[in-house]
Structure formats: structure tokens, C-alpha cells
Amino acid sequence: MASRSGTCIVVGASSGIGLAIARRLAIGGRKVALVARREKELRAAAALINDSLGRPAASAWVHDVADLDGAEPLFARIEQELGPVDELHYVAGVMPDVAVDEFDLGKDRTQVQVNMLGCIAWCNAAARRFLARKSGCIVGVSSVAQDRGRLGRPVYNASKAGMDTYLEALRNRLWRHGVRVTTIRPGFVETPMTAGLPLKGAISADKAAGLVLRARDGEKAIAYVPGKWRFVMFVIRNIPSFVFRRLSI
């Protein structure tokens, strides 16, 4: 495991897994730039980290990941203020309620922008710098939902699949240059995004964050969080299409 002492950026850090990752990074002594859209929640989250640790470890950077052109300049500003970044976590994601007979381009566009294009914008900004420095790591939080196209959330599945494939390509590009790219595929995790969903056996966001950082430390290419989802998704991936289309999962 490479030693890490630079600044970390966590995109999507105002709640859920992103916030839990940011907290764990800060507890571990890292400087963390929290990036998210909701200003009040974000500033409160950064203030809580600093208050709880009794030292300035976290800073808030308000940004809407759908503003794709804003990623590169914000990355540069963070480096300018906090020093070189050697770790990027892209955790931003949206999963709006979609009825099975609903085809709403507005919702679809938002999901593609936040889940996939935002990831590409931020990872491109990181990759450019990490490649030049021949070090650094990128962690992208995808989803087990990317493994199959399901009737419930077609564009969520597709956007996460796009993100996942992009991260694989990025990994293949950067691995040989000493830059690590890890794809995380979480299963059921208790977060504000999944509030109200019947998720039996869901793990806490903090536990998920612990597993994410363990996968990063182990330089895993792909990690299911928790690990049992690797087996579950293996089964689901191998259900023949003519059977899968008759299922309600």
C-alpha cells in the first residue's frame, strides 16, 4: 500500500457513504475537501468533523456535479488552497423514484449527469494530475445495480454501468503508471438516498466506508460492499435474459 499524506477529495460528501468516507479519512489524519451541492448540510458536516476532532481537517466546497465544466477549476482551487491531492473518492449519486410506466427524460438526464458524467469530469481532472505525478488513487462508488438492466430503474442501472465501465478503462490506462483505480459496488447500505426502501440486511454507511477504504488499501480493482454481494450478483448476472425479464427484481 502506498503511503498517503496528501489532500483527499470526496465528491458527494454531505451525507451517506461519502460523508462516512470523509469522516474516516479525517480520523486517519488526512486533510479532506468535502464537495457537494447542498451548502448548509455540507458546511455543517465539515464543521462537525473539525469540531469533533478538535483540529481543522475538513473543508467544504459547494459544487453541483451536474456542472461538468466546474470540476476542473474546482480541483485546481482545492490543490491551490490545500496542497496536492493524491486521492479522489467519487461518491455522488442520485436515484429518483421512477414508476414502472414512467419515462421522464428530466429524471434520466439528471441521473446520467450526476452518476456518470460527473464522475468522468472529476476523474479526468484527477487522472491528468495523478498520471503526471505517477501516483495517486481514484475510488469510484458505483453500485450492484450496474450488473443488470432492471425494470425498476433503467437509467440508474445504465448510468452506474456507464460509470463502472469508464472506471475500468481508466484503471487499465493508469495502472501501469502507478495510479490505482478502485471500483466499489455497494449493495444495501443505509443512507438518506435509500431511506424508505425495504433493504433487508443493509449495512451502515460507516461500515460501508470502512470496506471502501479497505479495498483502496488492498488496491482492489473491484470490490463488492459487503463482499457477499459478489456471490449474489454472480447469480443474478447469470440468470438468462428470458427468465430475468419475467422477474420483478
Partner 1 sequence: MTGLLWKDEHVGGFGMAMGGRGRVLRPTTEEQIADAFAEVRRTGGSIALRGTGNSYGDAAVSTNGHVLDLSRMNRIHSFDPETGVASVEPGVTVRDLWRCSIAHGFWPKVVSGTMAVSMGGAAAMNIHGKNNFAVGSFGECVKSFDFMLPSGDVVHCTRESDPQLFHAAISGFGMLGCFTRLEIQTKRVHSGRLRVWGIVAKDLEHNLQILEDMRGQADYLVSWLDLHAKGKDLGRGLMHRADQLAAGEDPDGLRFFDPSLQDVPPNLFGVVPKGWLWPGMWCAVHMKQVGLVNWLKFRAGAGEERNSPYLQTHGAFHFLLDYVPRWHWMTKPGGLIQFQPFVPFQHGARVLRQIVERCHGAGHVPYLGVLKRHRPDPFLMTHGLDGYSLAMDFAVSSRRSKRDALWRLCHELADLVLDAGGRFYYAKDAVLLASSFARVHGDAAVATFRSLKERFDPGNLLQTDLSRRLGVVAG
Amino acid sitting at position 142: S
Active-site amino acid positions: 156
Among 20, 33, 141, 163, binds partner 1 (CB under 8 A): 20
Q: Is 49 in the site for partner 1 (CB under 8 A)?
A: yes
Distance CA 152, CA 141 (A): 20
Q: Is 97 in the site for partner 1 (CB under 8 A)?
A: no
**DSSP symbol at 180:** E
Size of the site for partner 1 (CB under 8 A): 25
Identify which of residues 15 and 157 has a Cβ nearer to partner 1 in the complex. Answer: 15
Contact set for partner 1, span 50-79 (CB under 8 A) = 51-55
Q: Is 91 in the site for partner 1 (CB under 8 A)?
A: no
Q: Find the part of the chain contacting partner 1 (CB under 8 A) among 105-113, 125-133, 135-143, 201-209.
A: 201-209
Long-range contacts of 35-41 (CB under 8 A, 24+ apart): 35/9, 35/10, 35/11, 35/61, 35/62, 35/63, 35/65, 35/74, 36/11, 36/12, 36/60, 36/62, 36/63, 36/92, 37/62, 37/63, 37/64, 37/65, 38/14, 41/14, 41/15
Among 34, 45, 91, 179, binds partner 1 (CB under 8 A): 45
Among 27, 76, 132, 247, binds partner 1 (CB under 8 A): 27
Contact predicate 129/136, CB 8 Å: yes
Q: Is 205 in the site for partner 1 (CB under 8 A)?
A: yes
Q: What's the grid cell of residue 59? A: 473543508
Q: Is 197 in the site for partner 1 (CB under 8 A)?
A: no
- Nearest approach in angstroms of CB 183 to partner 1 is 23
Q: Is 10 in the site for partner 1 (CB under 8 A)?
A: no
Give Cα separations from 146 to 115, 122, 175 (angstroms).
11, 20, 23
Among 23, 89, 180, 185, binds partner 1 (CB under 8 A): 23
Locate cell 429518483: which residue?
96
Identify which of residues 22 and 126 has a Cβ nearer to partner 1 in the complex. Answer: 22
Helices (H), the chain: 16-27, 39-53, 71-82, 105-111, 118-133, 154-174, 205-217, 228-237, 241-244
Identify which of residues 33 and 45 has a Cβ nearer to partner 1 in the complex. Answer: 45
Would you tell me which residues interact with partner 1 (CB under 8 A)?
15, 19-20, 23-24, 26-27, 40-41, 43-45, 48-49, 51-55, 190, 203-207
